[in-house]
Structure 1
Amino acid sequence: MTDGAAKQGQPAGAELVRAAGCVLWRRSPHGDDGIEICLVHRPKYDDWSHPKGKLKRGEDALTAALREVLEETGHRCIPGARLPSLRYLASGRPKHVVYWAAEARSGSFAASTEVDRIVWLSPAAARNRLTQPRDRALIDALMQALHTA
């Protein structure tokens, strides 16, 4: 880690955790013109978030994001616009998560020890369900990306 990283609020000597994820969405099955956003529940943290995870050695961020969506939600998706990245501390280590919008195409959820539930919610309901306030800006970015596409 460089001195510049420490100056940007990252603890000196702490290795950056690189992760990637998606704001997974689908067209509402209720016949309206709306969309629904998928959130995952992680029992280890008892939180609701967007599907995401750490990059494997040599893996690029988009490949990791799509892999994590499939592993955590059971859904295959088509990536869309790049969304803002988030930087924060996780367990005392700096974490950088890169996100994409991704439209769900096929699949079905199966609970695991990592993710025990998913929900599909309207954007407003998803904003309210997210545990971390920092994740809410990703919904705004998704909505902007979908309206400008």
Structure 2
Amino acid sequence: MSDDVIRAAGCVLWRQGRDVEIALVHRPRYDDWSHPKGKLKRGEEAAGCAVREVREETGMACVLGAPLPTARYEVGGRPKEVRYWEARAVSGAFTPSREVDALLWLPPAAARVRLTQERDRWLVDELLSALRVA
């Protein structure tokens, strides 16, 4: 792997109520809806980064589950890799910030539609497959 790769990690964060709901965050800087994710800090492991980013962006503590496929795409002409996990929200409360100003809990079909980037939508299906939910 090249050293110019932007390394990030995140989660498809979910909770179980009557049905599965997926958390999406709104980032005003990009005016987009996405899964919580962020860049690794120097020396940080991807799993630790994913948990930290969920806490920072959603206010939720989570339990990591199955790894999901890694997303690969370019940002500003540089390759970016985002390692994802499915993660169950266990506690916490959202507080808006400059980085993330809104959090939505949506059923899978609505989450697919709300996600801004096509590259994020397939992760909903990967989550459902990992949870063995139709």
TM over 0.5: yes
Residue 15 of structure 1 deviates from its aligned partner by 1.1
Residue 24 in structure 1 maps to residue 13 in structure 2:
yes
AA paired with 2:117?
Q
> Deviation of residue 93 (structure 1)?
1.5
Q: Distance in 1 between matches of 2:69 and 2:115?
A: 17
Aligned amino acid, residue 47 of structure 1:
D
Number of residue-to-residue matches in the alignment: 133
Percent of residue pairs identical: 62
- Equivalence for 1:44: 29
| Cα deviation 1:47-103 (Å, max 9, x = unaligned) | 000000000000000000000000000000000000010000112221000000000
Looking at structure 1, the residues matched to 108 and 46 of structure 2 have their Cα atoms a distance apart, in angstroms, of 25
TM-score relative to the length of structure 1: 0.86
C-alpha separation in 2, matches of 1:73 and 1:125: 19
Q: Quick one: distance in 1 between partners of 2:78 and 2:51?
A: 24
C-alpha RMSD of the superposition: 1.3
Gaps of 5+ in 1: 3-13
How far apart, CA to CA, are the structure 1 residues paired with 2:31 and 2:129?
29
Please give the alpha-carbon distance, in whole angstroms, between the structure 2 residues aligned to 1:15 and 1:35: 37
What aligned pairs does 1:1-149 form with structure 2 within 5 A after superposition?
Answer: 15-28=4-17, 32=18, 34-147=19-132
Residues in 2 aligned to 1:107 and 1:91: alpha-carbon distance in whole angstroms:
34
Alignment gaps of 5+ in structure 2: none
Moved over 4 A (4+): none
Q: Which amino acid counterpart does residue 16 of structure 2 have in structure 1?
A: R
Cα distance between partner residues in 1 of 2:15 and 2:60: 11
Distance of 2:76 and 2:125 partners within structure 1: 27
**Does 136-145 or 87-96 show the bigger shift?**
87-96
SS at structure 1 position matched to 2:99: coil
TM-score normalised over the length of structure 2: 0.96
3-state SS of 1:113 partner: coil
Q: For each residue in 1:103-137, what CA deviation from the matched residue of structure 2 results, as whole angstroms up to 9, or x when unmatched? A: 00000001111000000000000000000011011
Deviations 1:12-39 (A, max 9, x none): xx811000000000012xxx3x100000
